[in-house]
Amino acid sequence: MNAESDERDGGAVPAKPVSAAGDVTESVTGDVTEGVTKEDRDLGSRAPGFIKASRALHLSWQVGVFVVGLAVVVAGIIMLPLPGPGWLVIFGGMAIWATEFVWAQLVLRWTRRKVTEAAQRALDPKVRRRNIILTVTGLVIIAVLVGIYVWKFGVTMPWKIHE
């Protein structure tokens, strides 16, 4: 059922961290092992040990994490068309799910990788120059349209200050 259930039953041996070069690292200190980043952590539940010890408690923990994550994701989806940080809240809900579910951890790893790749592409000098040119062109067009509007209709405030 879960990767955690195998560990509780003693049927599976946790895998040793492997660095990018393929070297197996023996000691784990904190969040980062030599050659292993935070992103390469073992997949699975991050629930406290006393919760993992009881199957019923762990299952209820997973249900609670799922419900809280679902509520946050639904709030984020509602915020997409409404004012609010919709995508940020959705990724927050995914992060909540990732504390307990492997599929959410894999989705977050994929998302982090894609965002990093997009940031590196955006910092490419050719792409950066193109983006600057497009931004300046857009700002000039907006300034011209605002100038035409002010020339044609003048500046009238929607409130009456002089009264």
What tens digit of pLDDT does each residue of 134-152 get? 999 999 999 999 999 998 8
Same domain, 28 and 75: no
d(CA 95, CA 63): 15
Asked if the structure places residue 49 within a domain, the reply is no
Residues 93 and 145 in one domain: yes
Residues 117 and 144 in one domain: yes
Asked if residue 151 and residue 81 are part of one domain, the reply reads: yes
Residue-wise pLDDT for 66-110, tens only, equals 999 999 999 999 999 988 888 899 989 998 998 888 888 898 899
Cα 51–Cα 52–Cα 56 angle in degrees, nearest 5: 75
- Report if residue 52 sits inside a domain: no
Considering its fold, how many domains does the chain have in total? Answer: 2
In a domain, 56, yes or no: no
**Distance of alpha carbon 126 from the chain centroid:** 28
**Is the same domain home to 38 and 65?**
no
What pLDDT is recorded for position 59? 86
Question: Does any domain span residue 119?
Answer: yes
What pLDDT does residue 33 have? Answer: 44
What is the pLDDT, as a whole number, of residue 37?
Answer: 54
Same domain, 69 and 21: no
The boundaries of the domain holding residue 32 are: 1-42
Q: Give the DSSP letter of residue 39.
A: G
- Does residue 36 share a domain with residue 89? no
37 lies in the same domain as 67: no
Given this model, what pLDDT does residue 152 score? Answer: 87
Same domain, 93 and 157: yes
Question: Do 80 and 117 belong to one domain?
Answer: yes
Q: Give yes or no for residue 123 having a pLDDT over 70.
A: yes
Q: What is the pTM of this model?
A: 0.50
Q: Measure CA of the first residue to CA of the last residue in the chain; give whole Å.
A: 72
- Dump pLDDT digits (tens) for 4-63: 444 444 444 444 544 444 444 444 444 444 444 555 567 777 777 777 788 888 888 889
Tell me whether residue 103 is exposed, middle or buried, using C-beta atoms within 10 angstroms of its C-beta: 0 to 12, 13 to 18, 19 or more.
exposed
